[in-house]
Amino acid sequence: MSDLFAAQVQGRSTALGPQARVLHGFALPFAEALLAGIDAVLAAAPLRHLVTPGGHVMQVAMSNCGRFGWCSDRRGYRYDPNDPQTARPWPAFPPAFLALAGEAAEAAGFPGYRPDACLLNRYAPGTRLSLHQDRDEDDRVAPIVSVSLGLPATFLFGGFARGDKTVRVPLMHGDVVVWGGADRMRFHGVLPVSPGLHPATGECRLNLTFRKVR
DNA sequence: TAGTAGCG
DNA sequence: GAAC
């Protein structure tokens, strides 16, 4: 068994790599505040389906909050301080977002985390996100903090080339995945979400992905 | 290659 | 899962 992917369970966390881990249930105490924050963000910056540079409509519905928002269109991927749909700045971080992101990062070995962007993803049943790298940030060392809410999903965590072997990580409501440093540029994705009904979110999975763009 | 179609 |  490879020690990189050995997935050693230590209490309520599972190692996916030297600087990548799953914090099981870490966001549960924050869930109510996070969901309220999501509602507020989406009221100002509605979910939308972005188009990839290849011209395909993404299955995941997205929005953003924070200083920068991740955007995609036929011209490429980028971070924009404004919502292209409204020409207005993205909503500020709800306070609970920053608290959770900082505490989760610290628990995973990244103290002093100060994200400046948060991508909101909504996965309806059947929705997937194909394997990719987060490579549009200037800072490629600061961790990604990914929070799962609602319906469960299977996270794919791979290597540094698309074709590398992937590990399947079951993620439930309240789980947080943190990867940075040497593991920051690993490919990752999400398998199609199975239909279901979750008390917190209804018929969908919600994901918050924090990044440090600058 | 933040995706799909199409074949084994 | 490989090819595009």
Q: Which residues contact A156 (CB under 8 A, 6 or more apart)?
A: A131, A166, A167, A168, A169, A187, A188, A189, A190, A191
CA of A126 to C1' of B8 (A): 24
Residue A204 is assigned to a structural domain of this protein:
yes
CA of A23 to C1' of B6 (A): 39
H or E element, residue A165: none
CATH number at residue A93: 2.60.120.590
Q: What is the mean pLDDT of chain A?
A: 94
Residue A2 is assigned to a structural domain of this protein:
no
Q: pLDDT band for position A10 (50/70/90)?
A: very low
Residue A206 is assigned to a structural domain of this protein:
yes
Residue A135 is assigned to a structural domain of this protein:
yes
Q: pLDDT band for position A9 (50/70/90)?
A: very low
- Strand B protein footprint, C-beta under 7 A: A 52-54, 56-60, 70, 72, 77, 119, 128-132, 134, 136, 162
Q: Give the domain range for residue A34.
A: 7-211
CA of A10 to C1' of B2 (A): 31
Residue A114 is assigned to a structural domain of this protein:
yes
Residue A92 is assigned to a structural domain of this protein:
yes
* A211 known member of a binding site: yes
* A48 known member of a binding site: no
Q: What pLDDT, on a 0 to 100 scale, did the predictor assign at position A6?
A: 39
* Number of folded domains that form chain A: 1
Residue A33 is assigned to a structural domain of this protein:
yes
Q: Measure Cα distances from A51 to A56, A62, A74, A77, A113 in Å.
A: 5, 11, 7, 10, 30
Q: pLDDT band for position A7 (50/70/90)?
A: very low
CA distance A49 to A56: 10
Task: Tell me the pLDDT tens digit for each residue of A13-37.
Answer: 999 999 999 999 999 999 999 999 9
Residue at shortest CA–C1' distance from C4 = A54
Q: Which nucleotide is nearest to A135 (CA to C1')?
A: B2
Q: Which nucleotide is nearest to A190 (CA to C1')?
A: B2
Task: Tell me the pLDDT tens digit for each residue of A55-101.
Answer: 999 999 999 999 999 999 999 999 999 999 999 999 999 999 999 99
Residue at shortest CA–C1' distance from C2 = A163
Q: Are A179 and A4 in contact (CB under 8 A)?
A: no
Nearest alpha carbon to residue A19 among A186, A187, A210, A180: A180
* A70 known member of a binding site: yes
CA of A53 to C1' of C3 (A): 19
Q: Which nucleotide is nearest to A51 (CA to C1')?
A: B2
| DSSP track, A54-106 | TSPBPSSEEEEEESBEEEEETTEEEEESEETTTTEEPPPPPHHHHHHHHHHHH
- Mean pLDDT across A103-114: 98
pTM: predicted TM-score of the whole model, two decimal places = 0.94
pLDDT at A11 over 90: no
Q: pLDDT band for position A147 (50/70/90)?
A: very high
Task: Tell me the pLDDT tens digit for each residue of A173-202.
Answer: 999 999 999 999 999 999 999 999 999 999
pLDDT at A5 over 90: no
Q: What pLDDT, on a 0 to 100 scale, did the predictor assign at position A64?
A: 98
Residue A1 is assigned to a structural domain of this protein:
no
Q: Which nucleotides of B are covered by protein (CB under 7 A)?
A: 1-4
pLDDT at A108 over 80: yes
* A173 known member of a binding site: no
